[in-house]
Amino acid sequence: MPFPPLKGRLSHPSLLALLLVFTTSTVSAQETMPRDERKELDLSEYRVTDTDASYFDVEARMELLRNTDNSILLQEMEILTSSAPSCQQQLSYKPITTRGGIPGYYPSPEEWELATEPLFAFEDSVSKLAGAFVASQDTYYAECLVRYLHHWAEEKALTTFVFDSNDPQAWFASESMMFAAAMAYSIVRPYVEDMEEERAEVEKWLHGLALQHSAFPGQPEESCCNNHFYRRALYASMIGILVEDDELFRFGVSAIYSALHDLTENGALPLEVSRGRRATHYQNYGINYLITNMQVIQRQGYDIFELEYEGNTIHEAVDFLFEILDDPAALGDYAPREQYTGFLKDPQYFTWMDIYLSHYDDPRVANFVQRVRPLYNRSAGGFISLYFMDPEAQQHVYLDEKRRRTEAFRGLGN
């Protein structure tokens, strides 16, 4: 989610800082993997091995949740079961069958929020139905999710959107809706019986959307290769797995190779840290989608978290993030030291941390994430703490946080 820009007149030092960022961005872009080179990567070893794997072991997690005494996990389950959505209400929402342009957030934040409200409602709806199924273990919610997505598939929702290289907001919005739907659907599909026609139609719809959307490469030195590419890769991996499309799956895998290729010597994602005062935010933002995608790929049996490419691993990007969080001066010439920090209070940006901790014991990540749990991201996996958090990691939650989460959940999709 974007943040509003700085307002007011630029001082001379600010102008110099912007010039420095522009220069650095240009240099960084020259260091990134070209699209043609990315398309030539030999990823033939990667193929779909388990179409029902989802992005976590759903059966094992539900067994754990049946026996947990962790207060945060119990809180999440209580909220999801006590405020569970009505299927009739979900099915009453009208699918988005036409798509006009969406104004940019920075120049028109109010118009952007109004235009994106129904899009976010869709993401919340699919995420909370999947979460309600995991929390309650009642297939009512799994079947409701399939019916809900089938309704959108029947209406050919999202198949028409405006793609304008100079105004790509509608294209950007579509990508998160697609992986929100695919990730939620991957959780429930193995538990839904006697809905073969509906499931087939949903999968055909998702597959078509993925192929249509990913056919647009994005702007050179920008959305072709930065965090928006990582987001496209996430839906490509997940949908590729669901429909057993190895080429689409490999498109998702290619983002990991591209990101590792692009890493600087100190672990910076160059197109992310070239974002001026939001360099730290975008380093984290890029990691969020890369780690989530890696989790999807890992569930197919690949040790992707230990992948080393061009001498780089994802852990270097994580290391650099904590370095610049601790001392923005470590950004050096990439960006000014005066970094925006408002994102640090928003849990949606840190869902990657519970995923990462499910693979590695990292005290820096563990210490940070305990301040922002429980983690929820309406598009990138939904209720991530519910699905990944170690029950031994954190036992206490404040009552006011519980109330806040309950009120927020009741408002999802309304």
**Whole-angstrom Cα distance, residue 151 to residue 121?**
15
Ranges of H-type helices in 327-374: 351-357, 363-369
Contacts (Cβ under 8 Å, ≥6 apart) of 137: 62, 66
User: What digits encode the pLDDT tens for the residues 186-233?
Assistant: 999 999 999 999 999 999 999 999 999 898 888 887 889 999 999 999
- d(C-alpha 203, C-alpha 353), whole Å: 29
Cα separation, 272 vs 258, in Å, equals 13
Phi/psi region, residue 301 (left: phi>0; alpha: psi -120 to 50; beta: rest), is left
pTM of the model: 0.87
CA 316 distance to own-chain centroid: 20
Neighbours of 50 (CB within 10 A): 11
| Domain 39-410 falls under CATH 3.20.80.10 | no
Distance of CA 260 to the CA centre of its chain: 18
pLDDT in tens, the chain (414 residues): 333 332 232 333 333 333 334 334 433 444 789 888 999 999 999 999 999 999 999 999 999 999 999 999 999 999 999 988 789 988 998 898 876 667 766 677 788 778 788 889 999 999 999 999 999 999 999 999 999 999 999 999 988 866 677 777 778 888 899 999 999 999 999 999 999 999 999 999 999 999 998 988 888 878 899 999 999 999 999 999 999 999 999 999 999 999 999 999 999 999 999 999 999 999 999 999 999 999 999 999 999 999 999 999 999 999 999 999 999 999 999 999 999 999 999 999 999 999 999 999 999 999 999 999 999 999 999 999 999 999 998 765 444 455 565 666 666 544
> What's the CA gap between 398 and 229, in Å, rounded?
38
Interatomic CA distance for residues 240 and 215, integer angstroms = 15
Distance CA 365, CA 208 (A): 37
Question: Cα dist. 41→44, 308, 309, 386 in Å?
Answer: 9, 15, 12, 36
Sole residue written with tokens 């420095």: 20
Q: For residue 312, list its beta bridge partners.
A: 309
Burial (CB < 10 A; 0-12, 13-18, 19+), residue 303, is exposed
DSSP state, 191?
A: G
Structure token digits, residue 387? 């699905």
Domain boundaries, the chain: 39-410
Q: From residue 313, give the alpha-carbon distance in Å to each of 31, 184, 343.
A: 17, 28, 25
Q: Return the half-sphere exposure (C-beta side, CA atoms, 13 A cut-off) of residue 12.
A: 0
**Contact by Cβ (8 Å): 359, 365:** no
